[in-house]
Each structure stands twice: as C-alpha cells, then as structure tokens.
C-alpha cells in the first residue's frame, strides 16, 4: 500500500533554534517528493520538490533531503522564526492512479 509517514506528529521549539522533520514513504514507483507548508485554515504552499536523482534542495532557511534508496526525506529548518509555526506536509507522487499521496503532516510551533 502506498503510504507516507511523517514524524514527529507535533513539535515545539524556541525561536532561533533549528529542527528537522522526517518523512518515510512506501510509494512505488516513485516520481517526486514535495514538502508543503500549511498555515492553519489556509491552503498548502510548496517549499521544495525533489525527483529521484536529487539529494538536497534548499529554499531559504528550508533544506530538504532525499534518500531514494531508503525512501526517506527530511526537512531541516534553520534559525526558526515565529512565522514558521504551521503544519509541514510531505507529499509523494508516483505513476499510479492517484496523483499525490499526502502525509498527515507535522505540526510545528515556534515559541518566543
């Protein structure tokens, strides 16, 4: 079964600290992996997208990594800000009948 598992489910960190979110997937055959940021009550916003051949992709303070062999991805946030408080969703595409497989997200809270 094609699944995307994210951990931790929720996370609280102090402003200025770094954090890493994890995503494991069983989707096959794999096409690409995206990280989205979703503020409460808003639509998701794409942060990064990586294909099979890419190991790292950065977007400002966000750096995503991908290990296609172990089917794991991480999203590292550097020097967190209060505005980083949101849900971070890992989304995987494969060449099947469903375009996207969504993880349940990690709820990040950055506190002062």
Partner 1 sequence: DTEVTQTPKHLVMGMTNKKSLKCEQHMGHRAMYWYKQKAKKPPELMFVYSYEKLSINESVPSRFSPECPNSSLLNLHLHALQPEDSALYLCASSQLWDRGSGYTQYFGPGTRLTVL
Kindly list the residues in this chain that would bind partner 1 in the complex (CB under 8 A).
Answer: 31-32, 34, 36, 41-46, 49, 51, 89, 93-100, 102-105, 107
In the complex, minimum distance from the CB of residue 79 to partner 1, in angstroms, rounded to a whole number: 26
Q: Which is nearer to partner 1, 15 or 102 (CB)?
A: 102
In the complex, minimum distance from the CB of residue 43 to partner 1, in angstroms, rounded to a whole number: 3
User: DSSP string of 48-108?
Assistant: EEEETT--EEEETTEEEEEETTTTEEEEEE-S--GGG-EEEEEEEEESSSSSEEE---EEE
In the complex, minimum distance from the CB of residue 42 to partner 1, in angstroms, rounded to a whole number: 5
């Amino acid at each position: 079964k094609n699944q995307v598992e994210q951990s931790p489910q929720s996370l609280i960190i102090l402003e200025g600290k770094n954090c890493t979110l994890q995503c494991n997937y069983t989707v096959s055959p794999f096409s690409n992996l995206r990280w989205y940021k979703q503020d409460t009550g808003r639509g998701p916003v794409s942060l990064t997208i990586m294909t099979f051949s890419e190991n790292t992709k950065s977007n400002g303070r966000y750096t995503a990594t991908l290990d296609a062999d172990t089917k794991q991805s991480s999203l590292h946030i550097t020097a967190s800000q209060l505005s980083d408080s949101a849900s971070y969703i890992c989304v995987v595409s494969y060449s099947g009948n469903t375009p996207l497989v969504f993880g349940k997200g990690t709820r990040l809270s950055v506190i002062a």
